[in-house]
Chains A and B, each alone.
Chain A
Amino acid sequence: MFAVLSPRFRSIENVQNMVDAAAVLAVVTCGITFVLLMGSIDLSAAGVMGASALTVSLLVANNRNDNDLGLLGIGVAVLLGCAFGCLSGLALVLLKVPSFMATLGVSAVGLGVATLMFAGVQPNISDAMLKGWAIERFLGLSYLTWIAATCVLVGWLLQRYTRLGRYAFAIGGAEEVLALSGVRVKPYKVAVFAVAGAFYGLAGVMVTSQLGAGLVQAGSGYDFSAITAAVVGGTLLTGGRGGVLHSAVGVLLVVVLTNGLVQIGVSPYWQGGVEGLIVVAAVAAAVIPQRRRNQVVK
């Protein structure tokens, strides 16, 4: 439809742009999908990405200190994301804090950590490899896009062929049954949040590569866009249905939609509004078949 409305939308350049823009969102969505499969929700992406963006920009070659760890720095940033995910998961299973509260708290902690590391001076990265990720192309697509594609593949393999992935589905479908049949659910819940955190950590690194600098706000907006993409792709917020490949399709849809709206002249400020409407509408549509009298919705 957008291809008819706007000639610029049809250009190869724009398709390349869209796929590149989808890269970071795809990685975030990959992570959040696992959490949504369990029927939980994760609002921590923005904070975790901010913290990992600052971490990686201070560990690779930059203008603030003499560190030049290269790949190791990237690894540390991903691990940090993983640790934040662990925190959310532990708060959920040990302290029994509902996931949206726990992750909201962890997001605040992540932003605080990022602000501490930022310390008023923006760290610009000079690491050639990390900067190259966003610029250099392979078969017409940037390295970041290939990384994202790899992430989707890894996410799909995790979901399809590991116990972690299949239990995530089961927890979302019927946690009580799973627990009663002797599965220790708690470690898997923490592990799922940790995996999601690692994906956010990598996404923070990718944003840093795009911007060439570590920013506290690196992840702002991605958390909600990722939920939108996952829901549009057919992953239910009630858990148990959907998957990484569904979400990948959702990411493309969301990116095409936002890009298309800009191309036909809608103000980019509306982007968040459109996403909000999509989420509410999609959740409402998913709930309609299950409507029953006296069903409790909090």
Chain B
Amino acid sequence: MPLIALLALVVALAIADPGFLTQRSLTAVARTAAPLIVLAAAATLIVLCGGIDLSIAAVASLSTVLLALWLPHLGGLATPAVILAAASIGAVQGVAHVLLRIPSFIVTLGGMSILSAIALVVSGAGTVRVVDDSTVKWLELYVGGYVPMSFVMALVVVALIALMLKLTPLRSWISATGYSESAARLAGTPVDLVKIGAFVVSGAGAGFAAIMLVSRQFSGGPTMADNLLLPAVAAIVVGGTAITGGHGSVWRSLAGALVVTLLRVGLPIVGVPSAYEQILYGVVIVIAVTLTLDWSKVSIIK
């Protein structure tokens, strides 16, 4: 389904604007899509477990600030340090979710608020400029002259997550947790560890997306990634991962992220003002969630 939507969008855009299928505009689309792909793919694991992570954008924003602040001191080590920091933020939220038994959307909603506050205080509520960007500039290179490095890295991240799921029992553990948590627990699945792991991956993904943003914008800002939350959630559900958990995959989120990016890029091409973008996200999220719901599970919806 998402692939068909993707193809249909590409064809529609190519018809609406013959200049769309040129190498330059496709490269631009790939560059725009890269951070979104990483965010959406990493957060997909949590959705597969039946939860949601609303803090990804806030983690990414905070990570851009941290990266910009650490680059002068740590140099090349700043990149892994930021990913590590973001992953541990994810771990803290995962532990809070599992140990305190708070629903994931409340933990991450609270986390979003706390992390935004930290980002504001750490950055002094302003943009932190990166003077020497030599250690993150490699993301702005082009593979073979055309394909942006950030896009390639995004694909690598998706492939790594998919491979990790494929080669270990993780995939079945995550699905079991998502389909029926109590059954999985009784069957001996380490449900709590799986959930915490999903949060760690989600956090690390947000950190990596932040590095892409900094390499493109030469700065970090406390609200820089905040507008990526809705597109990322939209990408996950448009890809066809069910919000009720269990059903879906990271590849679907990759397709979803491309669909969302094309919609965003395509609106101005067909002559719709970009203010409609927000409305579109809202409508797309609601429709996509409805279409992918596991209706057998939903006797009572809160």
Inter-chain contact A111/B286, CB cutoff 8 Å: no
Q: Do A96 and B298 form a contact, CB below 8 Å, given A283-B102, A296-B182, A297-B97?
A: yes
Kindly provide the distance from the CB of A175 to the nearest chain B CB, expressed in whole angstroms: 5
A104 to B237, CA, bound (A): 13
Q: Is the interface of A mostly helix, strand, loop or mixed?
A: helix
Q: Is the interface of B mostly helix, strand, loop or mixed?
A: helix
Inter-chain contact B114/A276, CB cutoff 8 Å: yes
A residues 80-137 near B (Cβ < 8 Å) are: 91-93, 95-102, 104-109, 111-113, 115-116
Q: Do A272 and B282 form a contact, CB below 8 Å, given A95-B290, A112-B277, A297-B103?
A: no
A116 to B283, CA, bound (A): 16
- Does A284 sit within 8 A of B, measured CB to CB? yes
Return chain A residues, CB-CB under 8 Å to B301: 92-93, 96-99
Q: Do A112 and B302 form a contact, CB below 8 Å, given A97-B289, A275-B113?
A: no
User: Could you give, for residues 210-252 of chain A, a 1 whenever the CB lies within 8 Å of some chain B CB and a 0 otherwise?
Assistant: 0000000000000010010000000001010000000000000
Q: Which residue of A lies closest to B111 (CB)?
A: A276
Inter-chain contact B109/A224, CB cutoff 8 Å: yes
Return chain B residues, CB-CB under 8 Å to A237: 103, 106
A105 to B287, CA, bound (A): 10
User: Could you give, for residues 46-58 of chain A, a 1 whenever the CB lies within 8 Å of some chain B CB and a 0 otherwise?
Assistant: 0100000000000
Interchain CB contact (< 8 A) of A295 among B101, B107, B111: B101
Interchain CB contact (< 8 A) of B107 among A269, A272, A280: A280
A295 to B230, CA, bound (A): 30
- Does B293 sit within 8 A of A, measured CB to CB? yes
- Residues of B in contact (CB 8 Å), total 55
User: Could you give, for residues 32-45 of chain A, a 1 whenever the CB lies within 8 Å of some chain B CB and a 0 otherwise?
Assistant: 00000011110100
Q: Which residue of B lies closest to A267 (CB)?
A: B121
- Does B131 sit within 8 A of A, measured CB to CB? no
> Which 8 A-B residue pairings sit nearest by Cβ, starting from the closest?
A273-B117, A112-B278, A276-B113, A108-B282, A112-B279, A276-B114, A105-B282, A109-B282
Q: What are 12 contact pairs spanning A and B, CB under 8 A?
A: A92-B301, A104-B230, A107-B282, A112-B275, A112-B276, A113-B279, A116-B273, A267-B121, A269-B117, A275-B113, A280-B110, A297-B104
The chain A residues found within 8 Å of chain B, CB to CB, are 38-41, 43, 47, 91-93, 95-102, 104-109, 111-113, 115-116, 175-176, 224, 227, 237, 239, 267, 269-277, 279-280, 283-284, 287, 291, 294-298
